[in-house]
């Protein structure tokens, strides 16, 4: 598959990007498929991240990498993540000087992108 740059890509970036993408294994440029096998979760992550990079987007990861890897587009979803399980009251707290304790203005990158992948790692025991 021949990589072609996005029409709005800064021309000074085309050469370095073309060089980086040319260094990827050819199969990393093909769309992922159901049942595709890799040797480890990390290998699967690299393969999918290379595909995403070559196609102009970024995957973020979550989950336990020893069992399952959940990858989604940076713009996946509609709401911010609340990793610390803060209540609305906790998120709106201020200190004595009136300064917000927790970041009040959060940058949102969610744009309802539906792209989501799950990578499951099955260990195969040799006899």
Residue 125 lies in a domain: no
Residue 5 lies in a domain: no
Structural domain that includes position 86: 11-120
Mean pLDDT by 10 residues, the chain (127 residues): 83 94 93 83 85 84 67 64 66 68 54 63 65
Residue 2 lies in a domain: no
Q: What is the pTM of this model?
A: 0.62
The 3-state secondary structure of the chain reads: CCCCCCCCCCHHHHHHHHHHHHCCCHHHHCCCCCCCCCCCHHHHHHHHHHHHHHCCCCEEEECCCCCEEEEEECCECCCCCCCCCCCHHHHCCECCCCCECCCCCCCCCCCCECCEEEEECCCCCCC
Instruction: Look at the chain and report how many structural domains it folds into.
Output: 1
Residue 19 lies in a domain: yes
Is there a contact between 63 and 70 (Cβ–Cβ < 8 Å)?
yes
Residue 79 lies in a domain: yes
């Amino acid at each position: 598959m021949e990589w072609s740059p996005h029409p709005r890509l800064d021309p000074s970036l085309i050469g370095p990007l073309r060089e980086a993408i040319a260094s990827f294994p050819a199969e990393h440029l093909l769309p992922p498929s159901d049942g595709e096998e890799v040797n480890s979760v990390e290998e699967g992550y690299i393969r999918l991240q290379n595909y995403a990079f070559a196609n102009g987007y970024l995957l973020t990861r979550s989950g336990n990498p020893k069992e399952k890897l959940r990858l989604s587009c940076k713009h996946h979803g509609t709401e911010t993540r609340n990793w610390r399980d803060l209540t609305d009251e906790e998120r709106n707290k201020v200190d004595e000087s009136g300064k917000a304790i927790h970041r009040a203005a959060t940058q949102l990158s969610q744009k309802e992108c539906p792209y989501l992948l799950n990578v499951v790692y099955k260990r195969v025991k040799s006899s």
